[in-house]
Amino acid sequence: MTNGFFDKLKAYFSGAWREILAIIVIAVVDLLTKNIVQSTMTLSQRITVIPGLLYFCYIHNKKAAYGSAFGLEKIFGEEGVITFFIVLTIVALVLFGFMLWKFRRRHLLSRLAIGFIIGGAFGNLVDRIVLRYVRDFIQIEIAGFSPFGIFNIADVALVFGVIMFFAYFIFYFDKDEKALAKATNATESSGDKEDSTAADKENQVKEGEQSQADAHGVSEENKDTSIVGVPLTDDAKKDENENSSSV
């Protein structure tokens, strides 16, 4: 039983290397860029990358992605919000990990979408657990306004993962459903055929045993008949005549 489980796990990882690679790459790049920014920039420092468009601005974010806590700080407080998002992220990672397993036979786009979401969520989770805040540093400015706040690579991966997931449901979900239903029907049909074949074999065995029993009965009857109807020898006839004379 254990060997069967590990065989299935090995088969899964051999076919799911793309989404697993996406998770690893996103988490590593996210944490690496955060460490570089933390070691080379001071808090609140702003560096121009593309004038009027892209800036690096290092901040500590104690809220959710893109600096929003959705009003939860009024309920839980600042530290409570961090704990809330840690628990929420762990639950989400478990659910998306289960989805990644369930979607193993679906289109690659769905699996990559889940991989992007898991990788991004994991990167921010490490920050919240270790530092009690998330390191953000990317700022996009349009006409003097920052529509996305300040974010990091993990946030970008989360957004792209959600976008890819929507694209999957629009373009590939129905096709996957039909293909999976067809495969399920084929499996059930094959199972019924195997059951029928096994029943036929069992009937053949029973018929063979009955034939052998009938043949054995006939053989015994023939044996009895040959013993009763065996012709008398000359000595037997002589004994029979002597018995008759004495009578």
- Angle at which helix 108-131 crosses helix 73-102, to 10 degrees, equals 140
With tokens 């808090």, the residue in question is 43
Q: Which of the residues 30, 127, 136, 214 is marked catalytic?
A: 136
DSSP secondary structure of 63-131: SSGGG--TTTHHHHHHHHHHHHHHHHHHHHHHHHHHHHHHTTTS-HHHHHHHHHHHHHHHHHHHHHHHH
Task: Output Rg (C-alpha) for the chain, integer angstroms.
Answer: 40
Residue in 14, 134, 8 with CA at minimum distance from that of residue 81: 134
Does 195 participate in catalysis according to the annotation? no
Return d(Cα 148, Cα 140) in angstroms, integer: 7
Does 155 participate in catalysis according to the annotation? yes
Q: Which of the residues 7, 30, 127, 155 is marked catalytic?
A: 155
Listed in sequence order, the DSSP H helices in the chain are 2-15, 17-40, 73-102, 108-131, 153-171, 173-228, 234-246
Which active-site residues does the annotation give? 136, 155
